């Protein structure tokens, strides 16, 4: 059986699990593993660096989308040639695994580590302010990026509600922003409320934002919300079930590269990058995800 390097983010803003609890779950499913609990990104990176040096192939993140995002970033930046990545949910949001129908209950999600199945997935590469970061789920430009900025400031005691707090605290002052974008070779220069760059299908605690996303086509499903604040509320509500795509003012594009020419708020997989211009590429089938 494949041996996993399992990284549990103790600072994940979802459920807290003891190391003994996680050990019991892994042992009861006959998983071969080394389990590390971490509190900082530096710890994770050091573990990944050592694992790459020792030719470890299989990795599992225990946490939310942010924890999974950092694991993927660390693997790529440490030049892992062909990583296999799994995820067991423990965060305030674990949306990426919903695309594969993996359970939101950690005791059930562990079973996908016991199979031999993997799925090669595309990864988004973001170049901004001389930095490079990667995402596998969804990036946002505009209003939803600002809500993530606020959610990161919410104290741990309210961590389960941080995305709701971020959303409702920003909705009153929210307004459309001028977006100067290049979608492959097509220019877009209009005011919009938000732009979603979707690699996978779900975000925001189960919203089916991009039901047509294909993780192996080398393309992003880009949705530009050219709507006012009142209409945006209606559209986001319909996105719970993926029913927003035909709404007036929702522009859909399928692209492999997107350039943000003017500084705008950007977030990727719950990680706020700041107010910046950027170039976003789709890197086809960059890693293997465990299913």
How remote is the C-alpha of 49 from its chain's centroid?
Answer: 22
Distance of alpha carbon 236 from alpha carbon 226, whole angstroms: 13
Query: Nearest-CA neighbor of 114 among 22, 33, 19?
Result: 33
- Is residue 272 a contact partner of residue 145, using CB atoms and an 8 Å limit? yes
Query: pLDDT per residue over 151-171, tens digit each?
Result: 777 776 676 666 677 777 788
Give pLDDT, residue 60: 98
Average pLDDT over every residue of 24-52 = 96
Interacting residues of 33 by C-beta distance below 8 A, sequence separation 6+: 3, 4, 5, 6, 26, 60
- Is residue 194 a contact partner of residue 143, using CB atoms and an 8 Å limit? yes
Query: pLDDT per residue over 211-266, tens digit each?
Result: 999 999 999 999 999 999 889 888 888 998 999 999 999 999 999 999 999 999 99
Give pLDDT, residue 13: 64
Q: How high is the mean pLDDT of the chain?
A: 93
Distance of alpha carbon 213 from alpha carbon 206, whole angstroms: 15
For 3-116, the fitting CATH number among 1.10.1740.10, 3.50.30.60, 3.40.50.10330, 3.20.20.70 is: 3.40.50.10330
- What the block records as the tokens of 240 is 């719970």
SS3 115: coil
Q: Phi and psi at residue 63, in whole multiples of 5°? A: 165, -155
Query: Nearest-CA neighbor of 59 among 106, 10, 118?
Result: 118
Give pLDDT, residue 174: 86
Query: Nearest-CA neighbor of 102 among 87, 116, 117?
Result: 87
pLDDT at residue 14 tops 70: no
DSSP label of 57: -
Distance of alpha carbon 155 from alpha carbon 220, whole angstroms: 33
Q: Where in the chain is the domain with CATH 3.40.50.10330?
A: 3-116
pTM above 0.85, yes or no: yes
Please state which of the ranges 21-30, 103-112, 144-153, 182-191 shows the lowest mean pLDDT: 144-153
Q: Where in the chain is the domain with CATH 2.60.200.40?
A: 127-284
Please give the class, per CATH, of domain 127-284: mainly beta
């Amino acid at each position: 059986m494949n041996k996993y390097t399992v990284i549990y983010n103790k600072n994940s803003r979802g459920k807290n699990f003891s190391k003994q609890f996680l050990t019991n779950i892994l042992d009861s499913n006959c998983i071969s593993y080394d389990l590390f609990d971490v509190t900082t990104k530096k710890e994770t990176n050091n573990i990944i660096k050592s694992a790459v040096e020792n030719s470890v192939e299989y990795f599992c993140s225990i946490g939310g989308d942010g924890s999974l995002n950092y694991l993927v970033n660390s693997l790529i930046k440490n030049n892992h040639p062909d990583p296999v990545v799994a995820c067991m949910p423990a965060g305030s949001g674990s949306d990426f695994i919903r695309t594969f129908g993996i359970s939101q209950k950690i005791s059930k999600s562990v079973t996908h580590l016991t199979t031999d199945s993997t799925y090669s997935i595309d990864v988004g590469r973001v170049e901004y302010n001389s930095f490079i970061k990667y995402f596998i789920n969804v990036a946002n430009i505009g209003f939803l990026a600002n809500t993530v900025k606020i959610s990161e400031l919410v104290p741990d005691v309210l961590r389960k509600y941080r995305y709701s707090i971020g959303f409702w605290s920003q909705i009153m002052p929210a307004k459309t922003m001028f977006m100067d974008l290049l979608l492959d070779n097509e220019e877009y220069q209009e005011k919009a409320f938000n732009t979603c760059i979707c690699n996978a299908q779900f975000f925001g605690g189960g919203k089916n934002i991009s039901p047509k996303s294909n993780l192996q086509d080398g393309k992003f499903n880009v949705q530009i919300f050219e709507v006012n604040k009142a209409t945006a509320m209606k559209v986001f509500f319909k996105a719970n079930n993926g029913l927003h795509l035909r709404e007036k003012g929702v522009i859909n594009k399928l692209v492999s590269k997107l350039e943000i020419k003017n500084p705008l708020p950007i977030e990727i997989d719950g990680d706020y990058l700041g107010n910046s211009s950027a170039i976003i590429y789709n890197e086809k089938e960059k890693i293997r995800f465990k299913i």
